[in-house]
Amino acid sequence: MFGRLSGLAAAAAFALLLGTPAFAQPAAQQRVPASQAEVTLTFAPVVAKTAPAVVNVYALKTAQQRVNPIFDDPFFRRFFGMPGPGGPGGPGEGPGLRAPERVQRSLGSGVIVDPSGLVLTNYHVIEGADEIRIALNDRREYEAEVLLRDQRTDLAVLRIKTEAKERFPFLELGDSDSLAVGDLVLAIGDPFGVGQTVTQGIVSALARTQVGVSDYQFFIQTDAAINPGNSGGPLVDMAGRVVGINSAIYSRSGGSHGIGFAIPANMGRVVVEQAKSGSKSVRRPWLGAKLQRVTPDIAESLGLPRPTGVLVQSVTAGSPAAKAGLRTGDLVVSVEGQGIDDPESLNYRLATRPVGGKAALLVNRSGKDQTLVVVLEVAPETVPREELLLRGRSPFAGATIVNLSPAVAEELKVDTNATGVVVYDVQDNSPAAAAGFRPGDVIVEVNNEKVARTGDLNQLAAVPQRGWRVTVLRGGRSITAVLRG
Active site residues: 124, 154, 231
In DSSP terms, 289 is beta-bridged to: 315
Q: How far is the C-alpha of 30 from the C-alpha of 23, rounded, in Å?
A: 13
Q: Is 246 annotated as a binding residue?
A: no
Handedness of CA 351, 353, 358, 359 (dihedral sign): negative
Chain centroid to CA 56: how far?
Answer: 20
Backbone angles phi and psi of 140, in degrees to 5: -70, 145
Q: How far is CA 15 from CA 19, 35, 392, 417, in A?
A: 6, 22, 74, 61
SS3 sequence of 170-195: CCCECCHHHCCCCCEEEEEECHHHCC
Is residue 386 within 8 Å of residue 453, measured between CB atoms?
A: yes
Longest dimension (CA), the chain: 95
Tell whether residue 447 is among the known ligand binding residues: no
* 257 annotated to a ligand binding site: no
123: closest CA among 282, 236, 253? 282
3-state helix, strand, coil in the chain (%, to 5): 20, 35, 45
Is 329 labelled as part of a ligand binding site?
no
DSSP 6-73: -HHHHHHHHHHHHHSGGGPPPGGG-----SHHHH----HHHHHHHGGGEEEEEEEEEEEPPS-GGGGS
d(CA 226, CA 189): 8
**Residues 173/241, Cβ–Cβ less than 8 Å:** yes
Number of CB atoms found within 10 A of residue 480's CB: 10
- 3-state secondary structure at position 289: strand
Give CA angle at 179 (284, 352), nearest 5°: 5
The amino acid that residue 469 corresponds to is R
Alpha carbon 41 to its chain centroid, in Å, reads: 36
Nearest of 310, 354, 332 to residue 209 by alpha carbon = 310
Rounded distance, CA 426 to CA 424, Å? 7
Containing 412, the helix (H) or strand (E) segment is helix 406-412
3-state secondary structure (DSSP) of residue 429: coil
Q: Using N-to-C axis directions, what is the helix angle for 265-276 and 343-351, rounded to 10°? A: 40
Is 124 marked as binding a ligand? yes
Binding-site members for substrate are 124, 154, 229-231
Residues at the annotated binding site? 124, 154, 229-231
